[in-house]
Amino acid sequence: VSEASKTASVGGNEAGVECATRLELTAVAGLPIISAGDDLSRAIGDALEGADVRLRDGDVVVVASKVVSRAEGRFVDLARVDVSKRAAEVAAEVDADPRLIELILREGPFVSRASRGVLVVRHRLGFVVANAGIDRSNAAPIGAPDGTGPWVVLLPESPDDSAERIRSALAARSGARIGVVITDSFGRPFRLGTVGAAIGIAGLPALYDQRGKADLFGRSLEHTITAFADQVAAAADLVAGQAAERRAIVHIRGLSFPSVNDAASALLRKAEEDLYA
Amino acid sequence: VSEASKTASVGGNEAGVECATRLELTAVAGLPIISAGDDLSRAIGDALEGADVRLRDGDVVVVASKVVSRAEGRFVDLARVDVSKRAAEVAAEVDADPRLIELILREGPFVSRASRGVLVVRHRLGFVVANAGIDRSNAAPIGAPDGTGPWVVLLPESPDDSAERIRSALAARSGARIGVVITDSFGRPFRLGTVGAAIGIAGLPALYDQRGKADLFGRSLEHTITAFADQVAAAADLVAGQAAERRAIVHIRGLSFPSVNDAASALLRKAEEDLYA
């Protein structure tokens, strides 16, 4: 991380005063169905252009992990998965397809919780997620031959790197200093329903620290490190899900954030410090 | 819930097609410091008017729980709290102020996890939250006599009812069919940083069910019940926290949702079905 990029702030005004009190989120249409090997950054840039969005300093582009996975060819044909002894045992325990369990355990060898129909693992990327984030919807590659599948799609290989590639390509194309967040929908302990979560980030902070600002009565605020990138993901999921056909790209204007090189793993609590690990 | 209010949809177009693909969120300035007994609904209406926001059908007003608590006089002077034997024991275990622990256990008698400096309970309202959501920042009542305190503020008595009172007052004042969400910032297992969560709702659904819509390849989407109200809370927290001085009211325009009478408790997983309870 260069010092310049560490300290530059985007989206605020010149004096560094935070003035962003309005956000605009737009679910961007026009992204084609992505195939393995497609230039996703270019496709996203084209979709933004097609939607008349000209990127400015401080804009954030949110990309659903699914299209990143598709571009990276992270499809797996379940019919071709060899099942290990451990996967067969776990599959019997949770009553699920042993081939799917095999893939889940390859992506996340550490099992957090197992129950009928549910296998929650700590993913190799660090986050705790049901079924290792493996998805069966929109999972088939284009032109998959008859008689193959069922297909599933794994999470991107390295989402922070994917976010940085997209950020850098969009920045080169627009000249704007932007942030990129790659998101997935996660379930949660205690609460029902999925929420957007940041699994890869570039150009913006994972956490936003408001500690030290005095409150109205002169005391320091408590508990005020907000999960900035996760809230960006949740907000984007809200508008993406509102589109008539769920959209993979959301453009956000109006955030104020430092332009930093951070990693989505900064959002993760260390297992040894997690009361629920 | 009347059938009419159950089926009416707001924020979409007449044909019922979802067309909302743009959201605007505004952190509204101008709310005065709220005292016990203040007419909060009126103060919110005045602040919206002062910010030139005219409510329309489908708008959502998000209110930070802190101001609701203040209006309800949920202040407690720690110096006047009698400590029970159980609270004294738990306080010794987690190394915290026994008077604070007493209040936490009154609000949430069931302890989920206890560790040094942290006490996670299942709140009487149902949600699992650190320190029962009790906050020390901005916690003193206006005009608290010298020598009193330290003061803390409890979560609202009944946030769904508070949300409904605000919704109904704003609807009467504007003629618009709106939703109201009362939010707090919650920590999470596994992940760092706080996120906005819905603790009281009125006029909109807690969960938004997209199951049954076919995906691109004709399969049903999986895992697509989104935590609608929680994502509204997270998005609002994002813009509230961006304001130069954190703001208690956020106005959201552009969501499409059914106008239902739902409860925030619909977001809660039953303890017996929770793998992490």
Q: Averaged over B211-233, what is the pLDDT?
A: 67
What six digits make up the tokens of A143?
């032109």
Which residues of chain B lie closer than 8 angstroms to A246, CB-CB? 210
Residue with tokens 């935070």: A18
Asked whether the beta carbons of B30 and B43 are under 8 A apart, the reply is: no
Contact (CB<8Å) A23/B208: no
Closest CB to A21 among B27, B128, B225: B27
Q: Which stretches of B95-254 are DSSP H helices?
A: 98-107, 159-174, 228-242
> Is the pLDDT confidence value at B186 over 90?
yes
Share of chain A above pLDDT 90, in %: 72
Asked whether the beta carbons of B208 and B232 are under 8 A apart, the reply is: no
Q: Which residue has the higher pLDDT, B235 or A145?
A: B235
What six digits make up the tokens of A255?
């955030």
CA distance B209 to chain A (A): 9
> Does the CB of B212 have a partner CB in chain A at under 8 Å?
no
Tell me what ipTM this predicted complex has. 0.90
Cα within 13 Å of Cα(A26), Cβ side: 16
> Is the pLDDT confidence value at A201 over 70?
yes
> Is the pLDDT confidence value at A3 over 60?
no
- What's the pLDDT tens digit per position in B33-74? 999 999 999 999 999 999 999 999 999 999 999 999 999 999
What six digits make up the tokens of B194?
């706080």
- Rounded to the nearest integer, the mean pLDDT of chain B is 87
Report CA dihedral (B138, A233, B18, A26) to the nearest 10 degrees: 90
Which residues of chain B lie closer than 8 angstroms to A21, CB-CB? 26-27, 29, 239, 242-244, 247
> Does the CB of B26 have a partner CB in chain A at under 8 Å?
yes
Q: Which of A18-22, B137-141, B238-242 comes out lowest in average pLDDT?
A: A18-22
> Does the CB of B266 have a partner CB in chain A at under 8 Å?
yes
Contact (CB<8Å) A118/B275: yes
Contact (CB<8Å) B22/A24: yes
> Is the pLDDT confidence value at A220 over 60?
no
- Rounded to the nearest integer, the mean pLDDT of chain A is 87
Tell me the three-class secondary structure of chain A, residue by residue. Answer: CCHHHHHCEECCCCCCCCCCCEEEEEEECCCCCCCCCCCHHHHHHHHHHHCCCCCCCCCEEEEEHHHHHHHCCCEEEHHHCCCCHHHHHHHHHHCCCHHHHHHHHHHCCEEEEEECCEEEEECCCCCEEEHHHCECCCCCCCCCCCCCCCEEECCCCCHHHHHHHHHHHHHHHHCCCCEEEEEEEECCCCECCEEEEEEEEECCCCCEECCCCECCCCCECCCCEECHHHHHHHHHHHHHHHCCCCCCEEEEECCCEECCCCCHHHHECCHHHCCCC
> Does the CB of B82 have a partner CB in chain A at under 8 Å?
no
